[in-house]
Chain A
């Protein structure tokens, strides 16, 4: 069964260090999302791609976060420098088109110490 792949599953990093997460969406899915979920809250959208183009990054803290999807397939989300408040689950999701349900990966649990 096709699924969204994310790595790493867990990451511990010291504050002020750089950290990167990788996502490989379901094959053929043009839309890719990065969400952040803080414990006890619902996921919040960070950035949405349609193919290689950014559709929405209004909630992405651009001073420290960056995301790219160069070939319109897999994607990388980077944080530099990491802060204590960045500790959360980072979820990647993909959908076939912009108006269909999104399927999530298992997420990357980030702990900043």
Chain B
């Protein structure tokens, strides 16, 4: 039973355009959500997070949107750059349940010059 799902295994975007990565979750206890970026042979790098008390958090080119009623979050990257090409993982945790991070399966983003 996958509690966090990223249904798109890959996404290809032209440089300068918007990249939208999606994530769905099933556990209503999740109240903290994160996005990580991973290059091959390296560990995931933290990008941005959002608490369930918010519906949007922005950091530079990265914006995360949370729709609690739909149990859906998305990461927007604007404008996309070739260096953004990586695998993106969303993760979720329940703060009153040990803060264990549950990850989605990842989406490979390819930004074409």
Contact = CB atoms under 8 A, between A and B. Distances in A.
Interface of B: 4, 6, 32, 34, 36, 41-46, 49, 89, 91, 93, 95, 98-106
Interface of A: 4, 6, 31, 33, 35, 40-45, 48, 55-56, 91, 93, 95, 98-99, 101-107, 109
Contacts of A44: 103
14 contacts: A33-B101, A41-B106, A42-B91, A42-B105, A48-B100, A56-B98, A95-B99, A99-B95, A103-B46, A104-B36, A104-B46, A107-B41, A107-B42, A109-B41
B43 A102 contact: no
B96 to A, nearest CB: 9
B98 A48 contact: yes
A56 B100 contact: yes
B100 A45 contact: yes
Given A91-B43, A104-B45, A98 B105 contact: no
Given A42-B89, A48-B100, 10 more contacts: A40-B105, A42-B6, A43-B103, A98-B98, A99-B32, A102-B101, A103-B46, A104-B36, A104-B45, A107-B43
A101 B34 contact: yes
Contacts of A55: 98
A105 B32 CA distance: 21
A51 to B, nearest CB: 14
A91 B44 contact: yes
B106 A101 contact: no
Contact of A105 (B36, B43, B99, B106): B43
A31 B46 CA distance: 16
A106 B34 CA distance: 19
